[in-house]
Chain A
Amino acid sequence: MNKTININLSGIIYHLDEGAYENFNLYLNAIKDRLSHEEGGAEIVADIESRIAEIFSMRLSEGKRQVVTQEDVDFIISTLGRPEDFAEAAEETETTQTETKRRFFRNPDETVIGGVCSGIAAYFNIDVVWIRVLFLVLLFFTGIGFITYIILWAAIPEAKTTAQKLQMRGEPVNLGNIEKKFKEFEAQGKAFGKKFKNTPRGFFDFITNTIGAILGFILKFFGVVLAIVGSVIAFTLIVALIGVFGSTWNLGGFDFIDINGYIYGMDGAQALFGSGWRLMSLRVGTLLTLLMPLFALVVFLAKLFGKSVSNARLLSFSGIASFIIGLILIFISAGSLATDFKERSTEVEKITVQGNSLVLEADILEESTGFLFDIDDDQLRVENVRFNIERTNDSTAHLELKHSASGRNHAEARQRAQRFDFKTEQTGETLRLSEYFSVPEDALYRGQDLKVTLRLPVGTTVFLDPSLENIIYDLENVQNLWDGDMLGHTWIMTERGLDCADCPVIEYYSAEDLEETIEEELEAMDDEIDRKIEELELEIKRLKDR
């Protein structure tokens, strides 16, 4: 089945088949172009059109046909002559060959996947290899090459006709060039050692069929690989979508896929964005941004299996549009969220601790997710506890809890800072701390943190259990040990600070080691003495000057 196009020549309608129309239109336009500068050009064109009409009519009635074909157009061209012949006899007018505007097309003659790279190469008139390398680099280093390729594939039309192929390369579309192209194809055809029909369509068919067959094979091979990759991406996107909408439509507990990270993460979004319009805006925004890769994937997979998506262009444009709208929604949501962190407030709470020989432990949270906060039933579990030990002049030890939280205004921050639940428990001499604190879910996560300080009077001893490792934070001590090294030892509070009661004395491994250490210390002492002398000399000078 061939498409025909209707044209009107001198008041008579002719049906031209598509390829014939393409060439005829070029031919007539070339003639019009030639004659446009001449006096009476329009009249000459009308005469010519009427002559063409006559020839068409004659040939159609002779052949008892309805449709004008390429052969008829060829006949016209051979009878009337090339456009150059129409120029007024002796005056060989210099026809300025204006560089025709290049247009973006995909190049169907040089394709690996969709001819996007070779189309770009033709547009910029550079070797296709560079474009391909660029895309591969983008693909492997950022993955953006993939998305870009898909979008371009969907958005850029393929150069189907010879005229479009010429436009793709920026060559002027005229009969001479078209014939040149035909000849190139003919030469290529001969190189294959095959005979061709004289009509240009034959060459095209052969070439596209050959390429198609080879491509088809390659595509099927890579298609399977790509389809698997595509399915994984699609699956991930769907999972992400479920996550985004999970708790809004009460799918939060839907744990059929083991993707706790996603569900929790998205519940986390609710803990951060609340349940108002901001969360909705975030979710809709995320969904919209995800639509683009999803659409692209649909188009890509369809193409892979040889099914053309009729509205691929619409799909890709709406994908881009929704991506942008989605980003805007996310930004609005996040921007509004930022205002909730404007003010900060701190509440202090004191708990008395009994005894002067303490053992300190922490409840290790087994199911810690590593996130800043986590959802636990209807509570937010925040793992932001910092533990410190300081000296007090009071006679008894006590724990000081400093809750801090942010809010839109001071009152809100203060109210939020009061809504804390931190578990401490003393049984005998053992003081148990929790690794986390809880806030009600509706308080939302607003940078809540907790500083726990154990204040000890001088002479109190404390054993630091290794379970404290996650909350111990920058403890000052006489030995100047790192936090981690302090664990598992007993410490005593002295006037100088915490002193280790059972830390092993540093052992030297060899005599040289010890000598070196002594030397270093002597040097340090020398330096100190020099400094002191200098200081005193300055003082003496100052006093003398007076």
Chain B
Amino acid sequence: MKIENTKAQMRKGVLEYCILGILSNGDAYASDIIEHLKNAELIVVEGTLYPLLTRLKNAGLLEYRWEESTSGPPRKYYSLSTEGKAFQKELKSTWDALQKAVEHITTSN
């Protein structure tokens, strides 16, 4: 078992929640989201994100609109749908509970 794989699995698990979290603070262009995630060292390369965004959008959690760009083609701006907002809140409570549980287990031993 490789440590890298486990790390990647962990990151992938929380990625969806993080994207929703970023968007709950305001609409964002894909590369803004990427920027945030990169700074937090949650992702290394952008490629990982595009399939995920499309999947969340197709699931009805995200909406997007086109905006003209001065440098390059038009951009997609993503925002949370009402369904997405509810989804994000539910994930947040799960995450908080999970965080406490993990902390409790790893420190009490």
Chain A residues engaging chain B, CB cutoff 8 angstroms: 9-12, 31, 35, 38-40, 43-44, 47-48, 50-51, 53-54, 56-58, 61, 78-83, 85-90
Contacts and interface: CB of A to CB of B under 8 A. Distances in A.
Contacts, number: 81
B45 A47 contact: no
Interface string B3-42: 0000001001101000000000000001100000000000
Contacts of B46: 51, 79-81
B55 interface: yes
A83 B76 CA distance: 22
Interface in B33-84: 44-48, 50-55, 58, 69, 71-76
A474 B92 CA distance: 120
A526 to B, nearest CB: 104
B76 A80 contact: no
5 contacts: A40-B55, A56-B72, A57-B71, A85-B45, A89-B52
B54 A85 contact: no
B66 to A, nearest CB: 10
Contact of B73 (A10, A31, A81): A10
Contacts of A87: 51
Interface of B: 9, 12-13, 15, 30-31, 44-48, 50-55, 58, 69, 71-76
B12 to A, nearest CB: 5
A11 B74 CA distance: 10
A86 B72 contact: no
A79 B45 contact: yes
B30 A51 contact: yes
Contacts of B13: 90
Contacts of A81: 44-48
Contact of B55 (A31, A39, A85): A39
Nearest to A10: B73
A87 B48 CA distance: 7
Give the residue among B12, B30, B54 with the most A Cβ atoms within 10 A: B54
Contact of B47 (A61, A86, A90): A86
A88 B58 CA distance: 14
B71 A58 contact: yes
B30 A47 contact: yes
Q: Top 6 closest A-B pairs, CB basis?
A: A81-B45, A81-B47, A54-B72, A10-B73, A57-B72, A85-B47
B5 to A, nearest CB: 10
Contacts of A44: 50-51, 54
